């Protein structure tokens, strides 16, 4: 990885991945891009930024040529809840955008990291210890695009030798940039509301178990997979990874250790509850552990402690 392009770099994961990669490879080696304009004072100051709509292939071509890109972290996407509100847009961005990136990668021999998701599974998938290879019949448009994306990336590897790699991310918890329209967003919102108002109304049922991961582990996973020995990768697109599975009630309980008068209420959103109910409770990530040494650093306890410390600083709460 000598010259890296990130698409969707202003999103929840991209905003942190940009800084992480710049620290590792150098500011000028990592080109951030997004369809949104960059905001001064946030990312993009310490390195190059390009406006790229991933549906506009010439915009990607021109950045790949201009900066002699050899690796793309393709993060531009529409997430699960936003996808159900506009399935046509989700299909276009998630599939046509990926196709554009893969075609350019084929021509310019770039490696490509594309995240899949727990959403690539559906109600007929085994819910507990969900295997690396199992039934994938998702019922959301987002999930459909994730399965299609996994297969398309495999195809480009086998047919054209494009070095495609990916993980199935669980819900990501972070403090820098708010999540962008997913079903697991409650696990970020709860921290802001708990610190600001000592209460939160959760849109998922208290017993909904989902895989979750703190952002430092997600960044580590993306980079470790891209730096892994190619010959050891049996799955490529995409590896199950998880850090911990918990319910809203369990997260609220952990937050209460720091904010004892925190109150959690529930007002279930049927659309997001149905999405969450269609996803696994907990993935089996042994393939990632065996093939490229995946191992998370943060469990529920460590993540909650760090989130509260970091958000207190961000929100200037004593
Ligand atoms: P996000 O919604 O926070 O960010 C996505 C970014 O893509 C946004 O900044 C948006 O402006 C940009 N974008 C949208 N349409 C675009 C287009 N046409 N061209 C260029 N950019 C466009 O999403 P995220 O949470 O950062 O997710 C990044 C990737 O990780 C996605 O593929 C997502 O499916 C995957 N993922 C995320 C999570 C999670 O919990 N955050 C979990 C599993 C998988
Ligand atoms: N966090 C994502 C979502 O809820 C999972 O891919 O859409």
The protein residue with its alpha carbon nearest to ligand 1, atom 29, reads 75
Q: Which of 146, 126, 149 is nearest to 138 (CA)?
A: 146
Residue 40's pLDDT is what?
A: 67
The protein residue with its alpha carbon nearest to ligand 2, atom 1, reads 171
Residue 46's pLDDT is what?
A: 74
Cα separation, 78 vs 273, in Å, equals 18
238 CB burial (10 A radius; 0-12, 13-18, 19+): buried
The closest-lying atom of ligand 1 relative to the alpha carbon of residue 172 is: 40
Residue 49's pLDDT is what?
A: 95
- State how far Cα 302 lies from the chain centre: 20
Residue 38's pLDDT is what?
A: 82
Q: Which of 78, 106, 82 is nearest to 94 (CA)?
A: 78
Which residue ranges of the chain lie beneath pLDDT 50? none
User: How many Å lie between the centroid of ligand 1 and the Cα of residue 76?
Assistant: 5
Output the ligand 2 site: residues, CB below 6 A: 79-80, 117-119, 142, 171, 182-184
Residue 41's pLDDT is what?
A: 64
Residue 91's pLDDT is what?
A: 98
The protein residue with its alpha carbon nearest to ligand 1, atom 9, reads 11
Helix axes 97-108, 141-160, angle to 10 degrees: 10
pLDDT in tens, 31-41: 999 999 987 66
User: How many Å lie between the centroid of ligand 2 and the Cα of residue 29?
Assistant: 29
Q: Which ligand is nearest to the CA of 221?
A: 1
Residue 43's pLDDT is what?
A: 53
* 314 SS3 class: helix
User: How many Å lie between the centroid of ligand 2 and the Cα of residue 172?
Assistant: 8
Asked if 142 is an active-site residue, the reply is yes
Instruction: Name the CATH code of domain 172-212+244-281+297-315 (choices 3.30.43, 3.40.50, 2.60.120, 3.90.25).
Output: 3.90.25
The protein residue with its alpha carbon nearest to ligand 2, atom 2, reads 182
Cα separation, 142 vs 138, in Å, equals 9
Parse the chain into domains and list their residue ranges: 4-171+214-240, 172-212+244-281+297-315
Options 61, 67, 142, 156, the catalytic residue = 142
Residue 39's pLDDT is what?
A: 74
Asked whether the domain spanning 172-212+244-281+297-315 has the same topology as the one spanning 4-171+214-240, the reply is no
pLDDT in tens, 83-122: 999 999 999 999 999 999 999 999 999 999 999 999 999 9
76, 93 Cβ separation under 8 angstroms = yes
Cα separation, 118 vs 110, in Å, equals 26
Record the tokens describing residue 67, joined without a space: 């900066």
For the domain 4-171+214-240, what is the CATH code? 3.40.50.720
109, 70 Cβ separation under 8 angstroms = yes
Residue 151's pLDDT is what?
A: 98
């Amino acid at each position: 990885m000598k010259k890296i392009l990130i698409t969707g770099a202003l999103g929840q994961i991209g905003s942190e991945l940009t800084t992480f990669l710049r620290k590792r490879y150098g500011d000028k080696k990592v080109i951030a891009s997004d369809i949104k304009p960059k905001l001064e004072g946030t990312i993009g100051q310490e390195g190059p930024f390009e406006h790229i709509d991933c549906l506009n292939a010439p915009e990607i071509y021109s950045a790949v040529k201009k900066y002699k890109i050899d690796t793309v972290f393709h993060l531009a996407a529409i997430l699960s809840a936003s996808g159900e509100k506009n399935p046509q847009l989700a299909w276009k961005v998630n599939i046509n955008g990926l196709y554009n990136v893969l075609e350019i990668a084929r021509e310019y021999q770039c490696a490509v990291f594309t995240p899949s998701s727990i959403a690539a599974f559906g109600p007929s998938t085994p819910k507990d210890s969900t295997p690396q290879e199992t039934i994938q019949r998702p019922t959301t448009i987002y999930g459909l695009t994730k399965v299609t994306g996994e297969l398309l990336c495999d195809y480009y590897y086998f047919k054209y030798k494009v070095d495609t790699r990916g993980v199935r991310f669980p819900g990501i918890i972070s403090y820098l940039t708010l999540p962008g329209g997913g079903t697991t967003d409650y696990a970020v919102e709860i921290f802001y509301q708990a610190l600001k108002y000592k209460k939160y109304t959760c849109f998922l049922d208290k017993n909904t178990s989902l895989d979750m991961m703190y952002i430092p582990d997600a960044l580590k996973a993306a980079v470790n997979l891209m730096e892994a020995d190619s010959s050891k990768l049996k799955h490529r697109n995409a590896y199950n990874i998880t850090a911990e599975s918990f319910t809203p009630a369990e997260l609220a309980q952990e937050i209460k250790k720091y904010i004892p008068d925190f109150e959690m209420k529930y007002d279930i959103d049927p659309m997001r509850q149905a999405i969450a109910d269609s996803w696994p409770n907990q993935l089996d990530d042994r393939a990632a552990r065996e093939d490229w040494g995946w191992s998370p650093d943060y469990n529920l306890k460590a993540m909650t402690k760090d989130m509260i410390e970091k958000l207190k600083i961000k929100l200037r709460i004593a």
